[in-house]
């Protein structure tokens, strides 16, 4: 290893970017798999039996990644026909797939039923009728459905990604009785089989409290349903486990949250005189987020005197808001580090910006970087695996980066870098 050269999974980023160019997402496969295994083991240990862990593939989906997490015993959560098609292309068995979505089409539901998915998570009252109708058309019976419950609890990051308060599009309200009505409607639908209740409270959550509160709320509804003769075998507690983006931060520890949740579920079930249900969870970001790093090449370096007279070094890279929109979309924080050499000892206040024609095109709002950073240097931005490539655009007709897997045989692109020719192929003139 050369001094100052960042290594990932035993490979130097200078070697990798010679082969794969920049910008690239670099995925540490062993880290990805270890994170998947950690959720599986932590929840199984806390609950004293297997807990189904659905990988929320919206965070990042590719057939290779789905195969790796499935090999670790995870199932796959899909939210659209595209995600479902990718899971099926990866060879994930239908029974290990769950289908979410606030606005599933009849076609998506038919594909899911045809594939024999393990569950369809019902998100509205009219959807019960729709799923029942599609099931009848396909002469399918016993279609496993869950009900997504809006518990009124929300936690975590940006308002856009809080999902269980009332004024948002997801789920069936506990407060208004819609969730309870859904259970009756499902019980009255001959083709459908209720497998459980679902709760998702938000994203990038850093404590267990909200999860436990939501679990108690859902267990209360379960007790009510069971008193009315409707069996609810399973509770899904959703995802939203937070990760570290900045130095000094730490991921939410799966062992801690699993122990807290197991304690809360057991206590609530005891208080209700109910059995402990099957449990499932849906981590996405916490599995794939920290497992990827984006590597960019530095271009224009521009010292700017701001309105208050202070200095800021604008460091432009060969990507930007097209490959990471989280910074400006959620006011998200990232860090960046020089990756190809030892920088000078002096550091400066810097902002990492992209090459797009927009002043909001910011990758890292504020970071200390070596004062001698210069064009041609490599810059690494960690923790970009979730909602990076998956939210990427072709803004300014910039081709999207590839995703390079490290540690599963030789380094290779599992998602191919786009070219300008790819973009023009959609242009029919």
Closest CA to 13 of 289, 245, 294: 294
357 a catalytic residue: yes
Does position 289 interact with its own copies (CB under 8 A)? The reply is: no
Is beta strand 362-370 parallel, antiparallel or unpaired with respect to 347-353? antiparallel
Please say which residue, 48 or 82, places its beta carbon nearer to its own copies.
82
Angle, CA 185 vertex, CA 181 and CA 189 arms, to 5°: 170
Question: Taking the complex as a whole, how short is the minimal distance between the CB of residue 283 and its own copies, in angstroms?
Answer: 14
* 230: CB partners within 8 A, 6+ apart: 183, 184, 187, 194
| Near its own copies in 17-76, by CB under 8 A | 56, 58, 61-64
Of 167 and 346, which CB lies nearer to its own copies in the complex structure?
Answer: 167
CA distance 335 to 364: 6
Given the residues 345, 357, 425, 428, select the one marked as catalytic.
Answer: 357
For residue 344, how many C-alpha atoms fall within 13 Å in the half-sphere facing its CB?
8
Check residue 423 for interaction with its own copies (CB under 8 A).
yes
Residue recorded with tokens 């695996």: 385
**Choice between 98 and 191, CB closer to its own copies:** 98
Using rule CB under 8 A, residue 304 touches its own copies: yes
At 315 the three-state DSSP class reads strand
* Residue span binding its own copies (CB under 8 A) among the ranges 133-141, 224-232, 287-295, 297-305: 297-305
- Range in contact with its own copies (rule: CB under 8 A) among 4-12, 139-147, 153-161, 338-346: 153-161
- Residue 285 exposed, middle or buried by CB count within 10 Å (0-12, 13-18, 19+): buried
Query: In angstroms, rounded to a whole number, what is the distance separating the alpha carbons of residues 255 and 39?
Result: 8
Interface stretch with its own copies, choices 219-227, 244-252, 285-293, 324-332 (CB under 8 A)? 324-332
Enumerate the β-bridge partners of residue 369. Answer: 348
In sequence order, which ranges of 116-253 are alpha helices (DSSP H)? Answer: 125-137, 178-187, 209-227
Distance CA(387)–CA(288), nearest Å, equals 9
What is d(CA 96, CA 80) in angstroms, rounded to the nearest whole number?
Answer: 16
Minimum gap (Å) between residue 25 Cβ and its own copies: 13
Contact between residue 237 and residue 197 where contact means Cβ atoms under 8 Å apart: no
Angle between helices 209-227 and 178-187 (to 10 degrees): 50
CB nearer to its own copies: pick between 268 and 282:
282
Structure-derived torsion over alpha carbons of residues 285, 395, 13, 376, reported in degrees to the nearest 10 = -150
Subset of 69-128 contacting its own copies (CB under 8 A): 79-83, 85-86, 89, 100-105, 123-127
Binding of residue 157 to its own copies (CB under 8 A): no
Round the CA-based radius of gyration of the chain to a whole number and report it. 23
- Total residues interacting with its own copies, rule: CB under 8 A: 90
Q: Can you read off the two tokens belonging to residue 284?
A: 């996405």
CB of 114 to its own copies, least distance (A): 15
Considering the complex, what minimum distance in angstroms separates the CB of residue 49 from its own copies?
Answer: 28
Helix (H, G, I), strand (E, B) or coil at 410: coil
- The answer to whether residues 39 and 254 touch, using CB atoms and an 8 Å cutoff, is yes
Choose one: 172-180, 183-191, 211-219, 252-260; the region binding its own copies (CB under 8 A).
172-180
Compute the least distance from the CB of residue 322 to its own copies, in Å. 9
User: Under rule CB under 8 A, which residues in 180-239 are in contact with its own copies?
Assistant: none
Residues 352-411 binding its own copies (CB under 8 A) are 353-361, 375, 390-399
Candidate residues 302, 344, 349, 366; the one interacting with its own copies per rule CB under 8 A: 302
For residue 427, state whether it binds its own copies (rule: CB under 8 A).
yes
Examine residue 271 and tell whether it contacts its own copies (CB under 8 A).
no
- H or E element at residue 425: helix 420-425
- 133 is a site residue for its own copies (CB under 8 A): no
CA gap 223, 225 in Å, rounded = 5
CA dist 335 and 320 (Å) reads 14
State the nearest-atom distance from the C-beta of 247 to its own copies, in Å: 24
**306 is a contact residue toward its own copies (CB under 8 A):** yes
| Least separation in angstroms between CB 154 and its own copies | 9
278 binds its own copies per the rule CB under 8 A: no
Residue among 348 and 423 whose Cβ is closer to its own copies: 423
Residue among 14, 44, 165, 343 that touches its own copies (CB under 8 A) = 165
Structure tokens at 33: 């798999």
For residue 199, the minimal CB distance to its own copies (Å) is 14
- Which of 329, 341, 343, 365 is close enough to bind its own copies by CB under 8 A? 329
The region of 47-55, 187-195, 227-235, 417-425 touching its own copies under the rule CB under 8 A is 417-425
Please identify every residue annotated as catalytic: 357
């Amino acid at each position: 290893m050369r001094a100052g050269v960042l290594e990932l999974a035993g490979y130097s980023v200078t070697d990798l970017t010679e082969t794969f160019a920049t910008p690239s997402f670099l995925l540490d496969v062993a880290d990805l798999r270890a994170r998947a295994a950690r959720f599986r083991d932590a929840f199984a240990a806390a609950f004293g039996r297997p807990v189904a862990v659905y990988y929320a593939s919206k965070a990042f989906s590719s057939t290779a990644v789905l195969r790796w997490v499935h090999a670790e015993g995870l199932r796959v959560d899909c939210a659209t026909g595209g995600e479902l098609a990718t899971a099926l292309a990866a060879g994930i068995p239908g029974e290990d797939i769950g289908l979410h979505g606030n606005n599933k089409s009849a076609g998506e539901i038919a594909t899911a039923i045809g594939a024999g998915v393990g569950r369809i998570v019902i998100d509205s009252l009219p959807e019960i009728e729709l799923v029942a109708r599609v099931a009848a058309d396909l002469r399918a019976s016993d279609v496993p459905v869950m009900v997504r419950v809006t518990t009124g609890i929300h936690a975590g990051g940006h308002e856009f990604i809080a999902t269980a308060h009332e004024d948002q599009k997801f789920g069936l309200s506990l407060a208004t009785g819609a969730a309870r009505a859904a259970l009756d409607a499902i019980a009255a639908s001959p083709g459908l089989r209720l497998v459980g209740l679902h709760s998702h409270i938000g994203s990038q959550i850093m404590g267990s409290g909200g999860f436990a509160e939501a679990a108690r709320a859902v267990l209360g509804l379960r007790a009510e349903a069971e008193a009315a003769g409707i069996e609810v075998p399973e509770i899904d507690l959703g995802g939203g486990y937070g990760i570290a983006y900045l130095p000094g931060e730490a991921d939410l520890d799966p062992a801690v949250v699993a122990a807290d949740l197991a304690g809360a579920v057991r206590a609530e079930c005891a208080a209700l005189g109910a059995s402990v249900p099957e449990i499932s969870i849906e981590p996405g970001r916490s599995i794939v987020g920290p497992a990827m790093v984006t590597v960019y090449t530095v271009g224009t370096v521009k010292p700017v005197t701001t309105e208050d007279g202070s200095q800021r070094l604008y460091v432009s890279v060969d990507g930007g808001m097209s490959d990471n929109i989280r910074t400006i979309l959620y006011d998200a924080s990232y860090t960046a580090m020089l990756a190809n050499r030892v920088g000078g000892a002096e550091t400066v206040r810097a902002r990492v910006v992209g090459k797009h024609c927009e002043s909001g095109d910011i990758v890292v709002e504020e970071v200390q970087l070596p004062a001698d950073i210069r064009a041609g240097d490599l810059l690494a931005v960690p923790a970009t695996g979730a909602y990076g490539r998956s939210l990427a655009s072709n803004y300014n007709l910039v081709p999207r980066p590839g995703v390079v897997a490290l540690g599963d045989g030789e380094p290779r692109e599992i998602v191919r870098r786009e070219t300008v020719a790819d973009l023009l192929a959609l242009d029919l003139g």
